[in-house]
Amino acid sequence: MANPVSLPLFQKVFIKNTTQRAVDVTILLLLLCLLAYRLLTLKDNGLAWFLAFLCESWFTFNWVLVICSRWTPMLYQTYPERLQQQVKELPPVDMFVTTADPVLEPPILTVNTVLSLLAVDYPANKLACYVSDDACSPLIFYSLVEASKFAKLWVPFCKKYNVQVRAPFRCFLDDRSVPSSANSGEFQQEWKKMKDEYEQLCRKIENATQQPFPFGLTGELAVFSNTELRNHTAIVKVLWENKEGLPDAVPHLIYISREKRPEHQHHYKAGAMNVLTRVSGSMTNAPFMLNVDCDMFVNNAQIFRQAMCLLLGAKNERDCGFVQSPQLFYDRPEQLLILHEYVGKGIVGIQGAFYQGTGCFHRRKVIYGLRPDEVEVQGRDVYSDENELQRDFGISREFMKSAAHALKGKTDYYPSNLSESLEAAHQVAGCGYEYGTSWGIKFGWMYGSTTEDILTGLTIHNRGWRTGYCSPDPPAFLGCAPPGGPATMTQQKRWATGLLEILFSKHNPIFGTLKGKLQFRQCLAYLWIFLWGLRSIPELCYALLPAYCLITNSNFLPSIQEPGIYIFVASFVSYNLYTLSEIIRTGFSIKAWWITQCMARIITLSAWLFGVINAVLKLLGLLETEFEVTRKGQSTSGDGGDDDDGQFVFDESPVFVPITVVVMVHLTALAISLFRLLPQSSGQGSGLGELFGSVFVLVSFWPFLQGLFRKGKYGIPLFTIFKSAALALLFIHLCKEVQNICVIVDMK
Ligand SMILES: O=c1ccn([C@@H]2O[C@H](COP(=O)(O)OP(=O)(O)O[C@H]3O[C@H](CO)[C@@H](O)[C@H](O)[C@H]3O)[C@@H](O)[C@H]2O)c(=O)[nH]1
Ligand SMILES: [Mn+2]
């Protein structure tokens, strides 16, 4: 007979990966053999051989980190249908959206994100949506006001017909999201009506997008008169309040533009998140907070219930400090999916998913710096001393009261109506509020890195929290990949810089393992991601080696007659076959594999290289790193707004110089060796291996090779070509110099 024991809300699923482990270890053994072979033959070979040894050592070390990270992959299976029986009342969730630039981030994207949040399958009286606008833009405000009007039609419509994707731009894209059960005439009619309404909303926003802003700054918009981008008071406006607290209404919607002054650091997104946390703390103070970037919409309306399975179902809260959903793109699905499939799930099996900055459900008290061992004292004050509380959290009485409640794990504290707390909200959104407090230093979203997400997650893991991962099908959230070349470069450069900033700081995960509660393998996984940028140096060196050898008629690979060549070929082939199999198993084509491989190499040798330079300059105190916002796709047609039909786009940025140099050097090197422009030297000359290497590099950087001969956005700008040509000539000259020195050393 059925037993009324309550069934678990989730289950851990350990993924069997014996084959993967075997392949991983085989590749590692091959790499170790290669290193050993190089060491044994070091004295019979030249400089190139030694450099290759150093580079390969780095690649091997990186491979060790990868293997450790993905040795024990795991997933969570959730059972949201059991929630209803087991949880009397679903807990409140505050939802945060950040936006920072109405040009780079078209307001219609933000509007879609907000609408998808307002319409999730969760009681509306438990939700509040806070939008932080770092641009202090009347256009965003206006768009949100219009969106809140549309939401009154949209939310009931989605709930009535159980629409799957609740971001209108995706929903109206095709008829896939039309629930088949609802094909009645009535539904068809309402669907059409809704589509018309949405198109009207788009038109209104488009009309308002003109420069200058077409409406007078009067009425509601009056708060925007006398504001400058970096110099204005705090604006907090309740755009819509669910006054009756009805579960089927539209959730609260609040607009925030935090105070900014030129003399105050605002800490970019991390600063915005801390303001969101405090403002929501003074208004609704939900125990859980979901944060999404403006370019990420809710793709699975059930996600809140799914996440609650993990957050409420964990026997011990320590096992679930936050719940992250994978960050995925709808327009270039292969870009991040592979990372999640193979390394992401591995990390879930160690101490838990990294925080990825978006699509994450946080516990408010964890963000407030609570340690897992303090949870047991639930109900008691974590801070016995009010002065201490004030020193950490700031001087707002209301906020201190709400924070004390949140820290105690209570869920029931918030004022009865929102306008009551507006004064406190303005206070905590002020730019001087954090002065002297612990925000961004001890807790909250952490300052000091442009990848504030990873740093914040690391701090949470350091305190001993484990974290959850929720990857339902269909995916919980989807975002748009940065379009073309330059936007990707901005983003990747920022990531590489930010990650290195953490590595070179007191937050280095090695300290976390030694002094904190970071697990050893979690530390290795963090190191793997922090070392991304530095990989650019050995990769650049390795990419130049074949050219160097062809120019100087030397070798860095064993010749065909030597046994060593088999080890090299075997590791090269097995690694590539393995990455290919990964992508095919995930459901993508060989072409997608080739493109991701090329993109990975391009990003490493351009964006990451510059990321390293930025990080070093910051370390030397010569540069303040800056969070440059990624340009989002302009159209919302659903193809990601690609205006570049999948081709690589260039601009004047110096980031494209290194690869252009590499390509030019290789073209020259191939010419030199093919036409035998060089007198044959006596020693071991370059052979097939180096020729193949050179061709392989050129093929990998195909968009650049094409770019040399094209005009317009697909062509490399002339100025970049000139700069690169000069550097390429310098390199070739240096090769010759080095060769001469080597000859002299040899003769001695
Ligand atoms: O001063 C700023 C700068 C940015 N943002 C917001 O931050 C989010 C992310 O910015 P975006 O330009 O889209 O950066 P991405 O590189 O795409 O973001 C990834 O990388 C960031 C840094 O690691 C994480 O914070 C993000 O969650 C993650 O999606 C967006 O909503 C922005 O509006 C602000 O609110 N204020
Ligand atoms: Mn983004």
CA-to-CA dists, residue 312 to 79, 88, 94, 404, angstroms: 12, 12, 16, 21
d(CA 180, CA 182): 5
d(CA 655, CA 492): 11
Q: What is the pLDDT of residue 253?
A: 97
d(CA 334, CA 587): 9
Active-site residue, from 24, 94, 133, 134? 134
| Those residues with Cβ within 8 angstroms of residue 562's Cβ, 6 or more apart along the chain or in another chain | none
CA 293 to ligand 2 centroid distance, Å: 6
Q: What is the pLDDT of residue 3?
A: 46
Q: C-alpha angle with apex 665: 663 to 671, nearest 5 degrees? A: 105
Q: What is the pLDDT of residue 12?
A: 96
Is the beta carbon of 492 within 6 A of some atom in ligand 1? no
CA 333 to ligand 1 centroid distance, Å: 19
For residue 105, give the ligand 1 atom closest to its CA. Answer: 33
Active site residue 134: yes
pLDDT by residue (tens digit) across 449-488?
Answer: 999 999 999 999 999 999 999 999 999 999 988 877 889 9
CA 316 to ligand 2 centroid distance, Å: 33
Q: Are strands 477-479 and 252-257 parallel, antiparallel or unpaired?
A: unpaired
Is the beta carbon of 549 within 6 A of some atom in ligand 1? no
Q: What ligand has the least distance to the C-alpha of 450?
A: 1
Q: What is the DSSP string of 226-264?
A: T-BTTBB--EEEEEE--TT--TTSPPEEEEEE--B-TTS
d(CA 340, CA 333): 11
CATH numbers and ranges of domains, the chain: 14-71+534-630+647-747 (no CATH), 81-483 (3.90.550.10)
d(CA 396, CA 253): 23
Q: What is the pLDDT of residue 483?
A: 77
Q: What is the pLDDT of residue 379?
A: 59
Is the beta carbon of 358 within 6 A of some atom in ligand 1? yes
Q: Are strands 322-324 and 468-469 parallel, antiparallel or unpaired?
A: parallel
Where the chain has pLDDT below 70, the residues are 1-5, 174-183, 376-380, 412-416, 634-645, 676-684, 748
Active site residue 453: yes
d(CA 573, CA 65): 21
Q: What is the pLDDT of residue 45?
A: 85
Is the beta carbon of 270 within 6 A of some atom in ligand 1? no
Is the beta carbon of 98 within 6 A of some atom in ligand 1? yes
Q: What is the pLDDT of residue 640?
A: 39
Q: What is the pLDDT of residue 179?
A: 61
Q: What is the pLDDT of residue 482?
A: 85
Q: What is the pLDDT of residue 5?
A: 65
Nearest to 207 by CA among 121, 143, 275, 164: 143
d(CA 572, CA 561): 18
Q: What is the DSSP string of 154-188?
A: HHHHHHHHT-S--SHHHHTTSSTTS-GGG-SHHHH
Please give the torsion angle defined by the CA atoms of residues 610, 615, 616 and 617, in that order, rounded to the nearest 10 degrees: 90
Q: C-alpha angle with apex 454: 452 to 456, nearest 5 degrees? A: 65
For a mutational test of ligand 1's pocket, the pick from 105, 229, 274, 293, i.e. the residue with the most ligand atoms closer than 8 A to its C-beta, is 293
CA 681 to ligand 1 centroid distance, Å: 54
Q: What ligand has the least distance to the C-alpha of 629?
A: 1
Rounded (10°) angle between helices 47-69 and 18-40:
160
Is the beta carbon of 268 within 6 A of some atom in ligand 1? yes
CA 545 to ligand 1 centroid distance, Å: 37
pLDDT by residue (tens digit) across 363-378?
Answer: 999 999 999 988 866 5
Helix (H, G, I), strand (E, B) or coil at 79: coil
Q: What is the pLDDT of residue 416?
A: 67
CA 745 to ligand 1 centroid distance, Å: 53
Q: Which amino acid is at 301?
A: A
Which residues are within 5 Å of ligand 2 (an ion), measured at CB? 293, 295
Is the beta carbon of 258 within 6 A of some atom in ligand 1? no
Is the beta carbon of 487 within 6 A of some atom in ligand 1? no
Is the beta carbon of 453 within 6 A of some atom in ligand 1? yes
| Cβ atoms of 311 and 361 closer than 8 Å | yes
> Which residue has the CA at smallest separation from atom 32 of ligand 1?
99
Token pair, residue 91, equals: 């807990």
| Those residues with Cβ within 8 angstroms of residue 24's Cβ, 6 or more apart along the chain or in another chain | 63, 66, 67, 70
